[in-house]
Amino acid sequence: MSGDTATNNAATVPTDGQTTGGTDYLNCSYGIKSWLLTLDHKRIGVMYLVAILTSFFLGGIFALLVRTELLTPGQTIVDADTYNRMFTLHGAIMIFLFIIPGIPAALGNFILPLQLGAKDVALPRLNLASFHLYLGGAIFLLAAIWLGGVDTGWTFYTPYSTTTNGSVVLVTLGVFILGFSSIFTGLNFIVTIHRMRPAGMGWFGMPLFLWALYATAIIQVLATPVLGITVLLLIAERMLGIGIFDPALGGDPVLFQHFFWFYSHPAVYIMILPAMGVISELISVHSRKRIFGYRMIAFSSIAIAILSFLVWGHHLFVSGQSNLANMVFSALTFSVSIPSAIKVFNWIATLYKGEIRLNAPMLYALAFILLFGIGGLTGLFLGSLATDVHLHDTYFIVAHFHYTMMGSVVIAFLGGLHHWWPKMFGRMYSERWSVIAAALVFVGFNVTFFTQFVMGSKGMPRRYYNYPSEFTIYHVISSIGSYLLAIGFIITAIYLIHSLVKGRKAPANPWGGASLEWQTASPPIHDNFAEEPVLTDPYDFSVNEFDERTGDYLLRPEVKG
């Protein structure tokens, strides 16, 4: 047994002799076992990245099928039942397999220890377990698709979900497992940030990305268990006929909605908070300007994390909950908008007198501010009780949450991916193609979803297979936008993959970032840092200067000491 451990360690943690020779984490060991059983946070991050991009691709295919079906009223390519399964799978895959693990588990796993100047996360085995659980959950979801899919919508509202045909149990079991994967990641990040900050880095010396990941992790650990319990109750009712939610068995169907949103509303902040953290980094680094109002941004992340637990009822304004509950939830909902607004103002103030580099990461960051602005401001219509009654369950909602989820989180994810790509893989991608793709994604996104605000307020309900012909024009425009988006993503995939093979070698610090991950080689060695990094202020860009010869930003000699 001890022999086993020894060989594992040999495969996953290279001995000293191997690493110091400049071998990076990607090629320090070979074979599928050296990846699937690795304890290296960077490899786990890369595996998560591959997995969530695959999920994004799959969810995207379902999105395109849905948009194509909606080109005409009535049947275009599939029947109503197939359509219902497709939008359910689009939602379930995008939410549970892509966007919740997206930034924390892929980018966060890779970057968090590097930004702390640490060798790894605090609990590497838990990290690997989290990835394995993710794969397990994903297998359940894929099995459910294989066995005929599920048609409940990603929200699994009872009593529809306890009475319909389809693989509801498989999907919800998958969600249960994925929940634990998410909890493990969150727990790990909390411990790592508490225990592994280098000497001299106080809480307010951390990059804001870490504040955001910390706030996210709190929500992951506290909210996700509720989801787990909820889906277990759902499974118990469906399989054993125990009456919890179904009124025919003496249950309460609205109770499910309370349980479900008690997790799923905080979950939208699991998605958006790390995205905000990414944006704080991008805006600051690419305008070479100290972030404006550091403390306000840090505190607003924590404020959002706390308030996120108190607003779930705004999903139930028309469900029949009491007026008192509606009043309280409406008021609390508005309170979340304040810290979000503060962040936006701070980012814009950061631009002031900066030196703004309009490359792909920055373009994505600027697009984020625009799209999050629209997503946030349209949220005011929904937080306000009287207007929500009309807009609830229409395309206005669909547009609103796509602006915040896709227009903000996915855009920030892409920005972060382009920002850290050279660090992760040691290669530069084509600057020109990345700008073209970013522009295409931005235009395609707005064509797709801005149209949906209009049709929603005109009376087009969501989750409709068939619709009155007066909405045809909006649906056609929206579908065309989705094809533009798809082209943008395909171009992105092509030049990113191309860069892995043919891309120019990346310097250690191509953007002039001042946080610690830029002080190690690109890609980093297995142990992250060959020599102890020099602790600097993550937002003081005067510590490094551009070196024409290498295209790298080097620490000034006086900083190195």
Partner 1 sequence: MIYVISVIFFALIVGLMVTFVVQFRRRKGYQAEDSPPHNTRLEVIWTVIPTLLCVLIFYLGFKSFLNMSTPPANAYEISVTGQKWQWFFGYPNGHTASELHVPVDRPVKLVMTSEDVIHSLWIPAFRVKKDVVPGRYSKIWFQAIEPGDYPLLCTEYCGTGHSDMLSRVIVHEPGGFETWLRDADGLLDTLPPAEAGEKLYLTKGCTQCHSVDGTAGIGPTFQDMFAGSFATRDGATIVVDEDYVRESMLDPAASVIAGFEPVMPTYAGKLKDKEITMLIAYFKSISRHAPQEPASSDADSDHSDQPDLPDNPDNLDHPEDPDHSEEK
The footprint of partner 1 on residues 257-276 (CB under 8 A) is none
> How does DSSP assign 45-99, residue by residue?
HHHHHHHHHHHHHHHHHHHHHHHHHTTSSS-SSS-HHHHHHHHHHHHHIIIIIII
Query: Which residue number, 418 or 526, has a Cβ lying nearer to partner 1?
Result: 418
Query: Which residue number, 209 or 292, has a Cβ lying nearer to partner 1?
Result: 292
Binding partner 1 by CB under 8 A: which of 374, 424, 428, 485?
Answer: 374
Under 8 Å between Cβ of 460 and 535: no
Binding partner 1 by CB under 8 A: which of 56, 189, 292, 420?
Answer: 292
Residue 352, SS3? coil
> Please, what is the minimum distance in Å from the beta carbon of residue 330 to partner 1?
6
d(CA 483, CA 440): 10
Q: CB 202: neighbour CB atoms within 10 A?
A: 7
The footprint of partner 1 on residues 43-82 (CB under 8 A) is 80-81
Binding partner 1 by CB under 8 A: which of 20, 75, 466, 550?
Answer: 466
Query: Does 294 sit near partner 1 (CB under 8 A)?
Result: yes
Query: Which residue number, 238 or 289, has a Cβ lying nearer to partner 1?
Result: 289
The footprint of partner 1 on residues 99-158 (CB under 8 A) is 151, 153, 157
Query: Does 253 sit near partner 1 (CB under 8 A)?
Result: yes
Binding partner 1 by CB under 8 A: which of 11, 36, 126, 296?
Answer: 296
Assigned token pair, 333: 């909902």
Instruction: Name the β-bridge partners of 553.
Output: 546
Binding partner 1 by CB under 8 A: which of 99, 173, 282, 366?
Answer: 366
Query: Does 377 sit near partner 1 (CB under 8 A)?
Result: yes
d(CA 346, CA 372): 14
> Please, what is the minimum distance in Å from the beta carbon of residue 317 to partner 1?
8
Under 8 Å between Cβ of 71 and 480: no
The footprint of partner 1 on residues 297-356 (CB under 8 A) is 318-320, 323, 326-327, 330-331, 334-335, 337-338, 341-342, 344-346, 348-349, 351-356
Query: Which residue number, 236 or 344, has a Cβ lying nearer to partner 1?
Result: 344
Return the CA Rg of the chain.
24
Under 8 Å between Cβ of 204 and 239: no
The bridge status of strand 552-555 relative to strand 427-428 is unpaired
Query: Which residue number, 358 or 490, has a Cβ lying nearer to partner 1?
Result: 358
Binding letters toward partner 1, positions 205-234, x by CB under 8 A: ------------------------------
What dihedral do alpha carbons 33, 35, 41, 44 form, nearest 10°? -120
Query: Which residue number, 131 or 539, has a Cβ lying nearer to partner 1?
Result: 539
Under 8 Å between Cβ of 206 and 127: no
The residue to which tokens 């889906």 are assigned: 231
Binding partner 1 by CB under 8 A: which of 425, 467, 474, 553?
Answer: 467
CA atoms within 13 A on the CB side of 80: 7
d(CA 334, CA 330): 7
Query: Does 289 sit near partner 1 (CB under 8 A)?
Result: yes
Position 370: which residue type?
L
Binding partner 1 by CB under 8 A: which of 19, 23, 164, 472?
Answer: 164
> Please, what is the minimum distance in Å from the beta carbon of residue 510 to partner 1?
14
> Please, what is the minimum distance in Å from the beta carbon of residue 329 to partner 1?
11
Assigned token pair, 415: 């920005």
Binding partner 1 by CB under 8 A: which of 9, 20, 163, 550?
Answer: 163
| Stretch touching partner 1 by CB under 8 A, among 184-192, 274-282, 376-384, 445-453 | 376-384
Under 8 Å between Cβ of 502 and 488: no
Query: Does 237 sit near partner 1 (CB under 8 A)?
Result: no
The footprint of partner 1 on residues 75-104 (CB under 8 A) is 80-81, 84
Query: Which residue number, 196 or 341, has a Cβ lying nearer to partner 1?
Result: 341
Binding letters toward partner 1, positions 379-408, x by CB under 8 A: -xx-xxxxxxxx-xxx--------------
Query: Does 288 sit near partner 1 (CB under 8 A)?
Result: yes
d(CA 13, CA 460): 56
> Please, what is the minimum distance in Å from the beta carbon of residue 435 to partner 1?
14
* Run of H or E residues at 171: helix 168-195
Binding partner 1 by CB under 8 A: which of 57, 433, 464, 483?
Answer: 464
What is the per-residue burial (b if ≥16 Cβ within 10 Å, else e) of 217-248?
bbbbbbbbebbbebbebbbebbeeeeebbbee
Query: Does 472 sit near partner 1 (CB under 8 A)?
Result: no
> Please, what is the minimum distance in Å from the beta carbon of residue 351 to partner 1?
4
Residues in the chain: 561
418 phi-psi bin (left φ>0, alpha ψ -120 to 50, beta other):
alpha
| Stretch touching partner 1 by CB under 8 A, among 21-29, 198-206, 374-382, 528-536 | 374-382
Q: CB 102: neighbour CB atoms within 10 A?
A: 28
